[in-house]
Amino acid sequence: MDNRNFLSNSQTPFAAEAQTGAVAKDFVSNVMTYMAGALVISGVMAWWFGSSEVLMSYLINPTGGMSILGWIVMLAPFGLVLLMGFGYKKLNSATMLSVFMLYAVLMGISLSFIFLMYTSGTIFTTFFITAATFGTMAVLGYTTSTDLTKMGSILYMALIGLIIAMVVNWFMASSVLDYLISAIGVLIFTGLTAYDMQKIKQIGMQVDARSEEGTKLALMGALNLYLDFVNLFLFMLRFLGNRD
């Protein structure tokens, strides 16, 4: 027997696994880069508008209600998410990146309203708690060998129930229900962070991170994680925040 051939053949599965892992790391790295860039943009825009009475005056009319620009800023991000989702096959990666960055800008401006509701110290403290929680769950989702598919399905069903509860509480205005909704929201998006990260890793094992398709998938993955982070932050802020 030729020992060199035997060793070569025996190492092939390990080499293939290592190569697959490297490809996945490249893809996940791209996803996290896009997501982090979007969060920085949103954070800067939120702080810029939230700390300026002049800029906030464009979003709030003299009677205290939302201006036309304020409503556009609040509703436009939802439309951009739909554009990225439904236009995925038609849009090229450069256009999708532009849409994602515009989304981050508008989301940042819409988040500036939290500076009118909560103290700056509470906002920054909650942000760091959110970042630590998100980072822990993202690492867990990336490294765990447990299949989180069933958990993801349950969490998405729970999210639908949570949205319904939020609509109901909009009419009831119950502080107890609001507290409960915030706590459940934190749990849901904590779990979804791990689930989405595992799904992103699995996608990364199957695509070329440097290809057009890989770039578009990375942007969609970044959007999912961005939404997980922002929603986790907002629910934590409602749960822990000290209002002005």
Q: If we measure between CA atoms, which residue out of 197, 175, 188, 181 comes closest to residue 232?
A: 188
pLDDT in 10s for each residue of the chain, 244 residues: 444 343 344 444 444 444 555 667 899 999 999 999 999 999 999 999 999 989 998 899 888 788 999 999 999 999 999 999 999 889 999 999 999 999 999 999 999 999 988 988 899 999 999 999 999 999 999 999 999 999 989 999 999 999 999 999 888 888 888 889 999 999 999 999 999 999 999 999 988 888 999 999 999 999 999 999 999 999 999 888 765 5
Name the pTM for this structure: 0.88
How many residues appear in the chain?
244
Q: If we measure between CA atoms, which residue out of 164, 159, 161, 162 comes closest to residue 196?
A: 159
| C-alpha to C-alpha distance for 153 and 206, rounded to whole angstroms | 22
Residue 118 β-bridge partners: 243
Q: How many CA atoms lie within 13 A of 137 on its CB side?
A: 23
pLDDT on residue 24 = 79
Q: Domain span at residue 41?
A: 3-240
Describe the crossing of helices 175-204 and 3-50 by its angle, rounded to 10 degrees: 140
Phi, psi for 65 (deg, rounded to 5): -90, 175
Q: Are 97 and 219 in contact (CB under 8 A)?
A: yes
Q: Count H helices and E strands in the chain, helices first.
A: 9, 0
Number of domains composing the chain: 1
